[in-house]
A and B are shown apart, each in its own frame.
Chain A
């Protein structure tokens, strides 16, 4: 009897587990292993509405589902037309965008100038609370959609005028020569009429104008599947029939899965695994340039850091190459420029002596500037363990080379770090990171050194040069002006350039044609080996 009862209990447990197994909704083995399909390791995206995400993970998916008016050519780092036929202006203030005719969304709806205007209006409309709102701040009428107080009176940007089905006229608040290149950003993708019936549902199951369409619902924290779009007629014809984005909570686990052949492509191989990746994957491991930069910022508002010579002394006392070798296995590039190498107008040694490691000269400059007394506090966030590693190395070098003995660390929770900087609570040099939006010097210089910057640094000549460059008649003519502005920011050195990140791409032997660039993962070019 008793034996029977315990057996019954065991059966019950087994039954619960089996029913749970069905409830889990897990698909049969090998997501992305079928026929002409492959899988990509990803982190859970935050949103899939183009106007409401700036996360690289979301953009990786959205890049397959949507097409922006222009794209950036990785060979020249200049804009090329994609959904648009031309983007022109005579005064850099009023721009005319002609779109390619006859394009369709995956639900069959035609892609028109209105589809773009609708999407941009929705993103710029303050009460929607979308992340990319700010990208429309230079279009006329933005202020009316984002009033200081109360509800906006209108939900349409005054600066957007639909002239006909394929023509959109955009009026900016000031001349801006970089406007075409900004149109490559995902926030400028169109949205179909169907989206506005239920924006929440659209975020879960977006309908786009790109080479792929969603295949089944977004399975949160598990996977997102896309397949070839039946209505797509653009240039990015996919080689593969389908892609599965497998979602990982940790890059290290994704890397282990790639080694086990359970995921085919990974674009964020952890820097700590660089050596292993080179050894195991050979030429299936690629390091590609990236626009992301790390800087050491100074609270210039704090008078202990007000002397540019002191800041330069810090810069010369830091051995960037040694740190990159030790912490990032040599994968990142030491920088002597405020701009990443892929940005047009980048000069390899723009900084010159001030960014060259020279302990003796650094000490001399440091003493001349009056030295530093009291506690030096270094600020960074706990988002990644490598931040603490390199900050510790910086501290050691400052101690050795400048003789600053009293150095403390402030490791701030990631969720609080930017608030801390925004409220200017930092009382010492801090880690500053920049992820490029589009390859223009303006994106770096104006965003970080421009009006109301974090450091509290203000230089009229710099601001004036940026204004001139923004309203230069052509992109090429704007470059020397940005470079002059960069020179000023380097001479004053309110923020020290440290190093430039590299994307670390790894893939299995099933794939060929992998072409990850700083602007797109180009998943459409990938073909799968059969058999």
Chain B
């Protein structure tokens, strides 16, 4: 019931985003067809044929209407080189999904691990190192981390392939995944640490300890579970962020995914591609948020009851 209601909310969001993005691409200056030709002269006739083919002469609303009509018939339009957008997304989708999932699992495992380590030994060496390290990672822009990792770990040390997808998963995705996940990892570690430190001081933890439960059970079952609620929220939202963050990472590591495509298509003003990709990203955001909300119930029974 709850999930269905949340999903229904996605419908107006879908229309609003597609329209907004379409308008934005439409409003970009310049003639995309003429730009394709480069410096060479192109007869007006050829330009007209192309404009006609992509309906670029129609007013915005007609273009958008035509696009949506196509979408409901399963036709997402085509790129300026004549490749169907649906085919293109299919090819590229797998790349971005693998990259984002690698980054996400990296964030989740290493981030929570470091957070717990730091939180349990507050003020200790591990804590100081984690705090300093994460501050550093948050401060440095992704592309600097990316190029540095590529040159040092990929080229100089030869631990990872420098670019491309030839090695498949996991080989080709580990290094870009870590780069993409590094920023989120820092946040996850800090959130886990703070939250855990707070909960360890809570009454129920003292009670549990007083009841004679082992330290392991107290931390693992009682304190950690409560501490993870803000972390799960972050991880959920961040999955969407990872998809968007792929624009930079995919560029550096030459991964032919959604991010690289969206960057190229904005430059070429390929309306259908940009709208298709961004709408998909919005949908993923919505679904990820929904998943987070549903997960709350698992972690905290009070929330589950309140919804019923």
Contact = CB atoms under 8 A, between A and B. Distances in A.
A249 B158 CA distance: 22
Contacts of B164: 246, 257, 262
A42 to B, nearest CB: 12
Contact of A419 (B31, B49, B251): B31
B135 to A, nearest CB: 28
B32 A126 contact: no
A53 B140 CA distance: 41
B8 interface: no
A90 interface: no
Given A24-B169, A54-B40, A256-B151, A418 B35 contact: yes
Closest 7 CB pairs of A and B: A416-B30, A21-B169, A221-B256, A129-B49, A126-B45, A415-B35, A26-B168
B260 A23 contact: no
Given A13-B101, A29-B167, A413-B29, A249 B95 contact: no
20 contacts: A21-B170, A23-B94, A24-B168, A27-B166, A29-B166, A47-B82, A129-B50, A133-B46, A203-B82, A249-B256, A253-B163, A256-B154, A260-B154, A413-B28, A414-B35, A415-B32, A415-B269, A416-B30, A417-B35, A418-B34
Given A126-B49, A146-B45, A20 B35 contact: no
B81 interface: yes
Given A220-B83, A256-B154, A24 B49 contact: no
Contacts of B252: 250, 253
A130 B44 CA distance: 12
Contacts of B128: none
A421 to B, nearest CB: 10
Contact of A21 (B40, B98, B254): B98
Contacts of A390: none
A136 to B, nearest CB: 10
B264 to A, nearest CB: 7
B38 A418 contact: yes
Interface of B: 28-32, 34-46, 49-50, 53, 80-83, 88, 91-92, 94-95, 97-98, 101-102, 105, 150-151, 154-155, 158, 161-172, 250-254, 256, 260-261, 264, 267-269
A415 B28 contact: yes
Contacts of A23: 94
A76 interface: no
B296 to A, nearest CB: 15
A49 to B, nearest CB: 10
A147 B45 CA distance: 7
Contact of B46 (A130, A247, A257): A130
Given A20-B169, A222-B256, A134 B42 contact: yes
Interface string A398-423: 00000000000000011111111010
A433 interface: yes
A128 interface: yes
Interface in A234-268: 246-250, 253-254, 256-257, 259-260, 262
Given A126-B46, A146-B43, A415-B29, 15 more contacts: A13-B101, A20-B169, A47-B81, A127-B49, A133-B42, A134-B46, A146-B45, A221-B260, A221-B261, A253-B163, A253-B251, A413-B28, A413-B30, A433-B39, A437-B40
Q: Chain A contact residues (Cβ within 8 angstroms of B): what range?
A: 35 or more
Nearest to B104: A13
A20 B94 contact: yes
Interface centre among B29, B155, B162, by most chain A C-beta atoms within 10 angstroms, is B162
B37 A17 contact: no
Contacts of A26: 165-168, 172
A94 interface: no
Contacts of A422: 34
Nearest to A452: B41
Contacts of B154: 256, 260
Interface in A12-40: 13, 16-18, 20-21, 23-31
A24 B165 contact: yes
B41 to A, nearest CB: 5
Contacts of A464: none
Contact of B155 (A47, A260, A447): A260
Interface of A: 13, 16-18, 20-21, 23-31, 46-47, 54-55, 126-131, 133-134, 137, 146-148, 200, 203, 220-222, 246-250, 253-254, 256-257, 259-260, 262, 413-420, 422, 433-435, 437, 447
A253 B163 CA distance: 7
A20 B42 contact: no
Given A200-B82, A419-B35, A21 B46 contact: no
A435 B38 CA distance: 10
Contacts of A18: 169
B38 A220 contact: no
A262 B163 contact: yes
A24 B90 CA distance: 9
Nearest to A133: B46
A126 B43 contact: yes
B267 A414 contact: yes
B88 A220 contact: yes
Contacts of B267: 413-415
B101 A134 contact: no
A315 B251 CA distance: 39
A29 B40 CA distance: 40
A30 B172 CA distance: 12
Given A46-B81, A220-B83, A433-B39, A24 B98 contact: yes
A174 to B, nearest CB: 17
